[in-house]
A and B are shown apart, each in its own frame.
Chain A
Amino acid sequence: MAIEIENVTYTYMKKTPYEKDALKKITLKIEKGSFVAVAGHTGSGKSTLMQHLNGLIAPSSGIVKVDGVNINSKGKGKIKARRSVGMVFQYPETQLFEETVYADIAFGPRNFGLAEAAVDKRVKEAMAFVSLDYAQYKDVSPFALSGGQMRRVAIAGIVALKPEYLVLDEPTAGLDPKAKHDLLKNIKDLYCEGNTTIIMVSHNMDDIIGLAGRIVVLNDGQIVADGAPQEIFMEKEILTSAGLRAPHLTQLLQKINEKALPVKLDCLNVATAADAICASYRRRKKNA
């Protein structure tokens, strides 16, 4: 079971002077159960690629398959396959529209034809997932909430659909540090529960570090790197040419390693990095 992208090319404004290949023969397989980050600068083709995953746009050439079904074919399985991929767009709070938080989150499940009792259960679960208290918020207008809360309501609306694959496009943009931290934790918890494959688009490696097991780097419509975070973060040249930077933590460790103390660079959080610095510091003291 996987999302398979085979040889996908997408051309914008075909047969005009502005014709541009946004994606160039991309082949990528996202296994069910994985947490994949897709990174790249603005205009690298990330969002275009994501819109292919549930058929919002069809490839100019190539095939997109979800669990073996070509989602742009005419067959019966197409709709089901598309529904198994949930999309959270950039700034999803701009898509809120209902009068209450409850109604907004319930909109999707109702449209999928679920009975009211099932919808109710889904809304409660989804709100719990994004740490919004059900009793406190269900009847509140989503427009009376803070930016971070609105973002969480919008994400809950997609989580309530229980997609097998959840695509999040820049979910933390514009959030304050605490809201960002909370949201990333919600996403991590959702993944750890084991029923959801997560595909997170971000240009910020600081968000990806500690979450994704695999990073795919896009540049100019092509995949320029694909591997474990520890490997990708060391590829300074590839990252720079793709308009990205290693996570701040990796950069800090590189500086320390270069100018002060030998430390290993592949730490993924402050605690392990502090352990590494600490060990090296003691070694130096002992040998002095």
Chain B
Amino acid sequence: MDKIEIKNLMYEYIQTDNKKKKALDNVNLTINKGEFIAVIGMNGSGKSTLARHLNGLLLPTAGSCIVDGLDTKNETTIWQVRQKVGMVFQNPDNQIIAAIVEDDVAFGPENLGIMPEEIRKRVTESLKAVNMEEKRNFAPHLLSGGQKQLIAIAGVLAMRTDYMVLDEPTAMLDPSGRAAVMEAVHKLHEKYGMTIILITHFMDEAISADRIIVMHDGKVAADGTPREIFSDVEKIRKLGLELPLASQMVHALRKRKIEISTDIYTDDELVKALQL
């Protein structure tokens, strides 16, 4: 029961030139509770469309998406699904609604009809979890992009969702904002056991996941551990992706006749391999 099951999922829409396009084409996936999954792929490969199915923002043209046994197509249970699956989008300015940070974080739980006492507790906890407690009385528009994303994440956390879907949460952020958001995401996974589905274009973010799903042309083109995914250099290139920097370096060194293992994906692994 505790998983998201995507079965034969198709999603079609009509393009501006009146032609039908399959944004998702027979996708089959199981997302188990507790996983940390990165979804990568080119622009237009169907990543965001897939993400929007996970909490019923989009409904399949054919096939189904079942969250902990609940079909997203069933209108009577859709709100239960949305309590289970939280979403954080790319643009921090599009998802903040309140004039004060703590009100924004409280918005979700308030809508669930939770008692004020409990809401207060959750807001404090959630803001603490993302290191933003000192900003609780700030106006969100005075925060940086990274801080706004942390508030959005705290909002999802306050709803106690089991799954958190993040659609390129760091694309608009500067390096320090990016680092803070990624740190918060990893903390939610490790400390709160939240299942993470992270859509990203940064290979170095993807490499820190337990599992990578590569989307291409509306289909799942690859699904495996970071090591499995990045070991197939030709395929990675064909899918319009790139290797993590450490792997690129390994390939460049091997071309220069240095004997070094191809099984290196992170900076630390490369440094270690070059030590005596």
A contacts, CB < 8 Å to B: 40-43, 140-141, 143-144, 146-148, 173-181, 203-205, 243-245, 248-249, 251-252, 255-256, 259-261, 270-271, 273-275, 277-278, 281, 284
In the complex, the answer to whether A179 meets B172 with C-beta atoms within 8 Å is no
Task: Check B204 for interface membership: any CB of A closer than 8 A.
Answer: yes
In the complex, the answer to whether A42 meets B201 with C-beta atoms within 8 Å is no
Contact residues on B (Cβ < 8 Å of other chain), bracket: 35 or more
Q: Which residue of A lies closest to B19 (CB)?
A: A144
Residues in A with CB closer than 8 Å to B276 are 260, 284
In the complex, the answer to whether B177 meets A278 with C-beta atoms within 8 Å is no
Q: Which residue of B lies closest to A99 (CB)?
A: B16
Report Cα–Cα, A52/B253, bound state, in Å. Answer: 46
Stretch at the interface among B40-48, B74-82, B154-162, B190-198: B40-48
In the complex, the answer to whether A179 meets B274 with C-beta atoms within 8 Å is no
Q: A144-B16, A179-B43, A270-B249 are in contact. Are A41 and B176 (CB under 8 A)?
A: yes
In the complex, the answer to whether B249 meets A273 with C-beta atoms within 8 Å is yes
**Which chain B residues (39-62) contact chain A, with CB distance < 8 Å?**
41-45
Contact for B144 among A42, A144, A175, A204, CB less than 8 A:
A42
Q: A176-B42, A260-B274 are in contact. Are A144 and B241 (CB under 8 A)?
A: no
In the complex, the answer to whether B258 meets A278 with C-beta atoms within 8 Å is yes
Task: Check B20 for interface membership: any CB of A closer than 8 A.
Answer: no
Residues in A with CB closer than 8 Å to B176 are 41, 243-245
Report Cα–Cα, A261/B270, bound state, in Å. Answer: 11
Nearest CB of A to B217, in Å: 11
Nearest CB of B to A281, in Å: 6
Report Cα–Cα, A178/B42, bound state, in Å. Answer: 8
In the complex, the answer to whether A261 meets B240 with C-beta atoms within 8 Å is no
In the complex, the answer to whether A177 meets B253 with C-beta atoms within 8 Å is no
Residues in B with CB closer than 8 Å to A141 are 16-17
Q: Which residue of B lies closest to A249 (CB)?
A: B245
Nearest CB of A to B236, in Å: 9
Report Cα–Cα, A244/B146, bound state, in Å. Answer: 13
In the complex, the answer to whether A147 meets B274 with C-beta atoms within 8 Å is no
Report Cα–Cα, A148/B229, bound state, in Å. Answer: 24
Task: Check B267 for interface membership: any CB of A closer than 8 A.
Answer: yes
Report Cα–Cα, A243/B176, bound state, in Å. Answer: 5
Contact for A243 among B45, B175, B268, B274, CB less than 8 A:
B175
In the complex, the answer to whether B144 meets A41 with C-beta atoms within 8 Å is yes
Q: List 11 A-B contacts (CB under 8 A).
A: A42-B177, A140-B17, A146-B44, A148-B42, A179-B43, A179-B240, A243-B177, A260-B271, A273-B249, A281-B253, A284-B276
Nearest CB of A to B240, in Å: 4
Residues in B with CB closer than 8 Å to A243 are 174-177
Residues in A with CB closer than 8 Å to B242 are 177-178, 181
Task: Check B90 for interface membership: any CB of A closer than 8 A.
Answer: yes
Report Cα–Cα, A179/B44, bound state, in Å. Answer: 11
Nearest CB of A to B19, in Å: 8
Q: Which residue of B lies closest to A46 (CB)?
A: B174
In the complex, the answer to whether B171 meets A173 with C-beta atoms within 8 Å is yes
Q: A275-B256, A278-B258 are in contact. Are A248 and B204 (CB under 8 A)?
A: yes
Report Cα–Cα, A178/B248, bound state, in Å. Answer: 15
In the complex, the answer to whether B144 meets A43 with C-beta atoms within 8 Å is yes
Q: Which residue of A lies closest to B41 (CB)?
A: A176
